[in-house]
């Protein structure tokens, strides 16, 4: 029955019940206010187990801050310590066991306080504290206070007469005689998301995945000078994807690292992102998402995160790969990945220069540039062999970075010189360096035959 406020009046005889009812009325009013205005206002605020103790088949709670469904708040070790609980028998009969924080329920018409705490005693026990007068800072007085008795219970034990709150799940190891371990996939009811580090880190990891996709898409759009006026197929989708992820990244950045936010706030943002990414998936509509479940936070979060990752997978990776040639003696060379040798791949030599296409080609001819494998390029250069054929590209494929500053040549695969490249997984450039000097491992400074102004060249291998 709900308590009623005491009618305080002059001349009344004060009894313990007056203060008990007044105290209960205040607590119930506060609890009702929290229940009405803050959904899911029960759960774990922080929790720490002794991980090493699990190896000894013992659950040891180092610290915990929690609020039960009935509004009871408890802080360990501030309100007292709890005894460890033995896990061996529980895990012998099952593969896993739940660990609960328990406090005795209030019993109307029965004693709820005892002088000395006992294992199966009532909710409160009496403690004595020396309290000073906060006005004068002196006159210490011994006051009797109530402290809440808490204990750990397992899922295999009887919970009758207790208010319980799940804290963790421990599971038996798959290997014989290996110690049990905490199941990090299980998430207890949480007051704040950062109370459970594995889940909080998973959400932060998702933020970094989105950031990587944003960087990737932004680089493609800038390199290819894609604008909203573009009529090239696929460009509009790239811009829409970037706009969607930019919005998600900004929203996530403002909250994902903030401590003290309820799981519901983060879950709401995750569900919003699923809906935004759905247009890029085959069904073109969001899947059926689970509702927020405070008693199964892990289940609903993991499901929504999985859908987001599926949506991110539809964001195509970079359409090209790039690797610079670097100095090795008098030649420039680059190593190749085995996958680049596939017939489905097309290789291009990109020359980063301020020269135009025609001037760049004339300069390379004047320097007698040869391209081949690292093991044979010296022979190709000295014997004036053709080497790998380079075909000038007037209009580079859409997949390659566009704009001024890069001259492209497609590398043709022939039966003579390509075989050495495939065998060594390498490629090298050799040229006449009489009018050239290396400014760094990648940059070659050259004076063109018909000019006096120095120009810099960088060579890169592009694969699409």
**Model confidence pLDDT, tens digit, residues 41-84:** 899 999 999 988 988 899 999 999 999 998 889 999 988 888 99
Shared-domain flag, residues 304 and 332: no
Shared-domain flag, residues 391 and 420: yes
Shared-domain flag, residues 264 and 364: no
25 pLDDT higher than 90 = no
398: in domain:
yes
Whether omega before 278 lies within 30 degrees of 0, making that bond cis, reads no
18: in domain:
no
Asked if 158 contacts 112 with a C-beta cutoff of 8 angstroms, the reply is no
Which among 262, 294, 313 is the end of a domain?
A: 313
Greatest mean pLDDT range, 77-86, 141-150, 161-170, 410-419: 161-170
Shared-domain flag, residues 262 and 147: no
Shared-domain flag, residues 53 and 163: yes
Q: What is the pTM of this model?
A: 0.65
Shared-domain flag, residues 67 and 163: yes
Q: What whole-number distance in Å separates Cα of residue 16 and Cα of residue 146?
A: 14
Q: Is 76 exposed, middle or buried (0-12, 13-18, 19+ CB in 10 A)?
A: buried
Shared-domain flag, residues 298 and 223: yes
Q: Is the CA virtual torsion 305, 309, 315, 321 positive or negative?
A: positive
Cβ within 8 Å of residue 259, ≥6 positions away:
192, 194
Which among 165, 184, 203 is the end of a domain?
A: 184
15: in domain:
no
Percentage above 90 pLDDT, the chain: 42
Q: What is the mean pLDDT of residues 308-312?
A: 89
Which among 283, 313, 343 is the end of a domain?
A: 313
Domain that holds residue 58: 38-184
1: in domain:
no
441: in domain:
yes
- Could you give the number of structural domains in the chain? 3
Shared-domain flag, residues 427 and 347: yes
Shared-domain flag, residues 275 and 348: no
Shared-domain flag, residues 95 and 137: yes
89: in domain:
yes
Shared-domain flag, residues 57 and 180: yes
412: in domain:
yes
Planar angle of CA 33, 39, 44, nearest 5 degrees: 100
Shared-domain flag, residues 294 and 328: no
Label residues 443-458 b or e (16+ Cβ within 10 Å = b): ebebebeeeeeebebb
């Amino acid at each position: 029955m709900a308590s009623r406020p005491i009618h305080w009046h002059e001349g009344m005889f004060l009894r313990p019940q007056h203060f008990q009812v007044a105290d209960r009325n205040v607590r119930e009013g506060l609890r009702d206010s929290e229940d009405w205005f803050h959904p899911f206002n029960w759960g774990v605020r922080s929790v720490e187990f002794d991980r090493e103790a699990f190896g000894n088949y013992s659950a040891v709670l180092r610290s915990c801050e929690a609020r039960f469904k009935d509004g009871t708040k408890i802080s360990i070790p501030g309100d007292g310590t709890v005894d460890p609980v033995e896990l061996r028998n529980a895990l012998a009969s099952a593969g896993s066991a739940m660990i609960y924080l328990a406090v005795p329920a209030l019993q109307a018409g029965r004693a709820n306080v005892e002088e000395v705490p006992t294992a199966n005693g009532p909710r409160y026990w009496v403690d004595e504290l020396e309290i000073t007068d906060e006005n004068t800072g002196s006159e210490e007085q011994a006051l009797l206070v109530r402290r809440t008795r808490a204990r750990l219970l397992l899922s295999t034990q009887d919970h009758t007469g207790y208010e319980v709150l799940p804290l963790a799940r421990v599971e038996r190891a798959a290997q014989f005689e290996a110690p049990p371990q905490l199941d990090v996939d299980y998430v207890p009811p949480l007051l704040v998301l950062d109370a459970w580090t594995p889940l909080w880190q998973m959400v932060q990891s998702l933020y970094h995945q989105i950031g990587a996709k944003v960087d990737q898409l932004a680089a493609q759009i800038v390199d290819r000078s894609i604008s909203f006026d573009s009529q090239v197929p696929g460009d509009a989708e790239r811009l829409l994807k970037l706009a969607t992820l930019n919005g998600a990244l900004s929203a996530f950045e403002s909250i994902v690292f903030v401590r003290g936010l309820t799981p519901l706030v983060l879950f709401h943002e995750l569900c919003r992102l699923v809906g935004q990414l759905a247009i890029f998936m085959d069904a073109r509509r969001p899947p059926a998402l689970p509702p927020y479940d405070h008693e199964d936070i892990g289940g609903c979060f993991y499901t929504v995160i999985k859908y987001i990752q599926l949506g991110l997978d539809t964001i195509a990776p970079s359409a090209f790969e790039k690797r610079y040639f670097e100095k090795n003696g008098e030649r420039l060379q680059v190593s190749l990945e085995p996958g680049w040798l596939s017939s489905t791949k097309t290789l291009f030599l990109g020359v980063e220069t301020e020269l135009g296409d025609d001037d760049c080609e004339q300069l390379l001819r004047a320097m007698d540039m040869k391209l081949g494998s690292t093991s044979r390029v010296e022979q190709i250069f000295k014997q004036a062999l053709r080497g790998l054929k380079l075909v000038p590209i007037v209009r580079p494929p859409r997949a390659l970075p566009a704009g001024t500053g890069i001259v492209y040549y497609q590398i043709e695969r022939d039966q003579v010189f390509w075989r050495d490249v495939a065998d060594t997984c390498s490629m090298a450039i050799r040229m006449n360096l009489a009018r050239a000097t290396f400014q760094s491992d990648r940059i070659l400074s050259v004076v063109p035959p018909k000019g006096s102004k120095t120009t810099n060249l960088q060579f890169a291998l592009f694969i699409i």
